[in-house]
Structure 1
Amino acid sequence: MKEKSIGVFVGSLRKASYNRAVAKYLETLAPENFKMREIDLSGLTMFNQDFDDEGTTPAAWTKFRSEVKALDGCLFVTPEYNRSFPAVLKNALDIASRPYGQNVWDGKPAGIISVSPGGMGGFGANQQLRQPLSFLNLQLLQQPEVYLGHANAFLDENGQITNDSTKAFLQQYLNAFVDWVTFLSEKH
């Protein structure tokens, strides 16, 4: 089977991010032909259309757009800030959707996982993120939905998942995501 390149977009910039820990764990579950890697969002300056309009597009934007364009799929792993997803993800979505008519997200298979120390597992962020992903024409896996609450209870101090049912659920999700990406790539 052809190798697939999957970009993992972590919505937290925090060093000890629960979301990054979950993303790293998911990378270990991927089949050999699915190359999952985190795409660094920390160096992206805030979107400003003037940069593109004036021909002063930041090099980090150009690199990021090229990286996204080359992907076979996208996995968004997000915390919840004030019932929504973090600005770093919105900024990344905006940068790679512009200039107008050059949306490099278009048509890519995608999935969302939200992780939070709170009991609702980032439900607000997960639901809010669906709207721009849909508008940008990412082909979102609808089921299963993943809201991982009480992250501090299933992650140890080294960022390792210690709960077997969480591990099993993440494997189930990743299997569905792999099937989704494979299905859509065979259609095109």
Structure 2
Amino acid sequence: MAEKTILTLVGSLRAESVNSKFAQIAAETAPEGTTVTTFAGLEEIPFYNEDLDVEGKVPAKAAELRAAVAAADSILFVSPEYNGTMPAVLNNAIDWISRPFGQGAAVGTLAAVIGTSAGQYGGVWSHDDIRKSLKVAGATVLDDAKLAVGGSYQRFAAVEPQDDVEVVDGIRGVVATLAAAELAAAN
């Protein structure tokens, strides 16, 4: 049986972001036969511009993102909430992987969304917006594979996410659901 791959895209660019730590937990707790990697360099991709999206002009990092999404069996978005919606860096990533419309790298790719934010609901508006955009981009979004952890500043002030059993179990569950959906889709 071939190794299944999950590509994570993290919406927080801070080096020590809790969402980055969630992505690390996903990689460390992935079920046997599944590899989870994080795409590095989302901040290097210019804002989507159709004038750049022509053969010979596509920025290298945007082309790298498209290739990584196309090569992965599924994508896991790990996101905080900024001003009631998704971070611009994730919206931009979805713009690049959705083009050309109907044929982009996201088409048919399994996807799920998790994350944490300072608000009490853990970024659910952001997560809902990501799911909606991914569906428009043609991804197969697993709406039941989700985790939103609220109050991140307080919750992780004294405890690291990897030491929070509830968080680790939640992330492990989402990754296992995504991996099982990959296997089901392959058969």
Task: Give the TM-score normalised by structure 1.
Answer: 0.90
Q: Which residue of 2 aligns with 1:147?
A: 148
Q: Aligned equivalents of 1:173 and 1:61: distance in 2?
A: 27
- Identity of counterpart residues, as a percentage? 31
Per-residue Cα deviation, 1:89-140 (whole angstroms, up to 9, x for no partner) = 1111111222345311100111100211221110110111111111112111
Given that 1:114 and 1:146 are in contact with CA atoms closer than 8 Å, whether structure 2 keeps it comes out as: yes
Residue 18 in 1 paired to residue 18 in 2? yes
TM superposition shift of 1:144 = 4.1
Structure 2 spans left out of the alignment, 5+ residues: none
Question: After the TM superposition, which segments of 4 or more aligned residues of structure 1 sit over 3 Å from their partners?
Answer: 99-102, 152-160
Given that 1:155 and 1:162 are in contact with CA atoms closer than 8 Å, whether structure 2 keeps it comes out as: no
Q: Aligned equivalents of 1:172 and 1:154: distance in 2?
A: 20
Q: Which residue of 1 aligns with 2:122?
A: 121
Q: Aligned equivalents of 2:22 and 2:155: distance in 1?
A: 10
Q: Which residue of 2 aligns with 1:166?
A: 167
Q: Which residue of 1 aligns with 2:60?
A: 59
Q: Aligned equivalents of 2:142 and 2:102: distance in 1?
A: 24
Structure 1 spans left out of the alignment, 5+ residues: none
- Local SS of the residue matching 1:132: helix
Q: Which residue of 2 aligns with 1:42?
A: 43
Matched residue count: 186
Given that 2:113 and 2:147 are in contact with CA atoms closer than 8 Å, whether structure 1 keeps it comes out as: yes
Q: Which residue of 2 aligns with 1:68?
A: 69
58-67 or 5-14, which deviates more: 58-67
TM superposition shift of 1:54 = 7.2
